[in-house]
């Protein structure tokens, strides 16, 4: 998901927060470029100015977090099997600090997840500020947990699904957008998750409104994302967060059409062509 080893403000960050908030869906229909607009500038709008302190990448032990993530992974895989597909492997979960905060390593078939205890002071300050934007009593730690240890974790499992179902894509924009489709579709299958998902959506919208639009005037959002994904977006927390939250908001607006089982079947059908 997010890489915070770059200039960040006292605030700088989903989903990807951060913000970020992390490889998918039925041979997805082409994802239309999101219409992005420049949020109104405000005196509190973060500007990347700080540099994260160099740090080691310690492996941590957090049995409670490990168990919680394994439970989500287990429920996700149950939905896969109930939809007619038995995964060829189970992605491993490793709690280890990463500048991306969370990501799926396809070669290792492993999802790396950072623990709050191992975040830098700058990273924690980022989430503290995002929490102030999200409101509803959120703290930096609770916002981080809600995003990376709950809502967006199935986004990373979705990246594994993309690999297992051999789902093709046109580039990073579609890969990331589709992984969030899998997350939203999965949470729809889980009893009692709706209210919590809605809270994440509200937080994403409020934070997004405070982030600068990274797309230069006159440029296509998808083309810009694909061209600059590895050149700067993935390492620029506010820019990456802006896109990931945009994906989430768009997908939540059309969530009724996302049916987990139908997505699996569509991907399997596409494989047989």
Instruction: Return the DSSP state at 125.
Output: H
Task: Identify whether 8 is part of a domain.
Answer: no
∠ Cα 21 249 121 (to 5°): 20
Task: Identify whether 33 is part of a domain.
Answer: no
3-state class of 96 per DSSP? strand
pLDDT at 21 over 90: no
pLDDT at 52 over 60: no
Average pLDDT taken over every residue of the chain: 84
Predicted TM-score of the model (pTM): 0.79
Number of domains making up the chain: 1
pLDDT at 9 over 50: no
Task: Identify whether 187 is part of a domain.
Answer: yes
Question: Measured between alpha carbons, how far is residue 61 from residues 64, 68, 154, 247 in Å?
Answer: 9, 13, 21, 32
Q: List CB contacts of 179: < 8 A, sequence separation 6 or more.
A: 22, 23, 24, 155, 156, 158, 159, 162
Task: Identify whether 177 is part of a domain.
Answer: yes
Residues 153-174: tens digit of each pLDDT: 999 999 999 999 999 998 999 9
Of 75, 91, 103, give the one whose Cα is nearest residue 5.
103
Residue 267 token pair: 């991907």
Task: Identify whether 58 is part of a domain.
Answer: no
Residues 179-184 have a mean pLDDT of 98
Task: Identify whether 30 is part of a domain.
Answer: no
Instruction: State the pLDDT confidence band at 28, using cuts at 50, 70 and 90.
Output: very low
Task: Identify whether 154 is part of a domain.
Answer: yes
Q: Which domain holds residue 128?
A: 63-271
Residue 41 token pair: 């500038």
Task: Identify whether 138 is part of a domain.
Answer: yes
**What is the distance between the alpha carbons of residues 152 and 5, in angstroms, rounded to a whole number?**
20
Residues 214-266: tens digit of each pLDDT: 999 999 999 999 999 998 887 777 788 899 999 999 999 999 999 999 999 99
């Amino acid at each position: 998901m997010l890489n915070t080893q770059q200039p960040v403000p006292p605030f700088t960050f989903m989903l990807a927060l951060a913000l970020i908030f992390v490889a998918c869906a039925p041979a997805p229909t082409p994802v239309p470029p999101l219409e992005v607009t420049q949020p109104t500038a405000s005196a509190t709008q973060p500007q990347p100015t700080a540099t994260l302190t160099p740090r080691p990448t310690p492996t941590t032990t957090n049995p409670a977090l490990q168990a919680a993530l394994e439970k989500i992974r287990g429920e996700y895989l149950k939905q896969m099997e109930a939809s007619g597909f038995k995964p060829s492997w189970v992605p491993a979960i490793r709690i280890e600090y990463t500048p991306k905060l969370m990501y799926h390593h396809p070669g290792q078939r492993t999802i790396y997840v950072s623990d709050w205890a191992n975040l830098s002071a700058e990273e924690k300050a980022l989430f503290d500020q995002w929490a102030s934007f999200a409101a509803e009593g959120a703290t930096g730690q609770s916002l981080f947990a809600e995003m990376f240890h709950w809502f967006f974790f199935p986004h990373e499992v979705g990246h594994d699904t993309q690999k297992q179902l051999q789902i093709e894509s046109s580039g990073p924009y579609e890969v990331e957008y589709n992984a969030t489709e899998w997350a939203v579709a999965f949470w729809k299958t889980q009893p009692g998750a709706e209210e919590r998902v809605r809270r994440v959506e509200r937080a994403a919208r409020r934070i997004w409104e405070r982030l600068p639009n990274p797309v230069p005037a006159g440029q296509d959002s998808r083309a810009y994302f694909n061209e600059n994904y590895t050149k700067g977006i993935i390492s620029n927390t506010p820019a990456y967060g802006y896109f990931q939250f945009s994906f989430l908001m768009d997908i939540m607006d059309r969530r009724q059409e996302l049916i987990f089982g139908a997505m699996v079947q569509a991907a399997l059908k596409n494989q047989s062509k």
